[in-house]
Amino acid sequence: MFLRNYPLANLTSLGVGGPADFFIQAANLQEVVEAQRFALDHNYPLTVIGYGTNLLIKDGGIRGVVVQIAAPFARAKVEDTILSATTGCLLSSLSKLALRHGLSGLEFAVGIPGGLGGAAYMNAGAYGGEIGPLVRSVQLVQDGVVKTWQRSELDFSYRTSRFQTEASRPIVTEVQLELVPMDQGAIRQKMNDLQNQRRSKQPLEYPSAGSTFKRPPDHYVGPLIEKAGLKGLRIGGAEVSTKHAGFIVKKGEATAKDFLDLIATIQSVIWDQFRVRLEPEIRILGED
């Protein structure tokens, strides 16, 4: 069932990081339940990852059990205005499914490369849209038991949710999204506009983990970093993008430590110059 000392670097968009003690790519709900029960029975920490597009795994890897929920666990359907999908579904694919059914709400997600599970976990968003307001309910596995939580129980706010604060670390396995009927042409036009914005502004030609930092109150991260003179700053194979300073991109060979050192340098300089604290938006997991 589990793979031992599994290399995780190739499961992330940054391509860095060490191994997992135990690894499984879950293909169905039962495998998620069994993985969580295995971790509980052996008192192992359990980490859930998706497509690794918003993830920095440290060079020492991740102790305990790592469960990946990705393509093998991807199924979706639409009934009236409700789109139900397992959390291995790509957000971009779900936005296109909604378009085919003339449903609006997921246009912002067309260019987000990650999966539904990570989106629900961090309340992912872009260009003024977020996943949280669309969620009607979620199916999850908690303490080895399948449960359902309603939207009112999920505590969505900017880039966070109850899943991040719940001590039992529940695993989201399916999400119901409530969308709004709209003309397909209007939906398609909005999606095309957002895709054009993304291509023109973001450094898609290099590996990255998306926006590195959360937006602090009353500031925008990219202009702040550029004003500090950090655009193009490089440590090892990690570089502040010269196209959009809110992104750290991979240039050549790199380690997780390169990215961590660059993140820490940016945080220090921005604090010293502007007294603004930058908090990572990317998830940082594992050991040095």
281 in active site = yes
Residue 288 identity: D
**Residue 238 tokens, joined:** 């990690």
| Choice among 161, 211, 239, 241 that is catalytic | 211
CA distances from 181 to 78, 84, 98, 105 (A): 12, 16, 9, 9
What are the CB-based long-range contacts (under 8 Å, 24+) for 1-6?
1/31, 1/34, 1/35, 1/38, 2/35, 2/38, 2/65, 6/66
What would the DSSP string read from start to end of 71-120?
GGG--EEEETTEEEEETTSBHHHHHHHHHHTTEES-GGGGG--SBHHHHH
| Residue 14 CB neighbour total at 10 angstroms | 25
Closest-CA residue to 108 (of 190, 13, 225): 190
Supply angle C-alpha 72, 69, 145, rounded to 5. Answer: 110
Residue 76's DSSP bridge partners are 85
Q: Which residues of 83-119 are buried (b: 16+ CB within 10 A; e: fewer)?
A: bbbbbbbbbbbbbbbbbeebbbbbbbbbbbbbbbbbb
| Choice among 34, 159, 161, 239 that is catalytic | 159
Residues belonging to the active site: 159, 211, 281
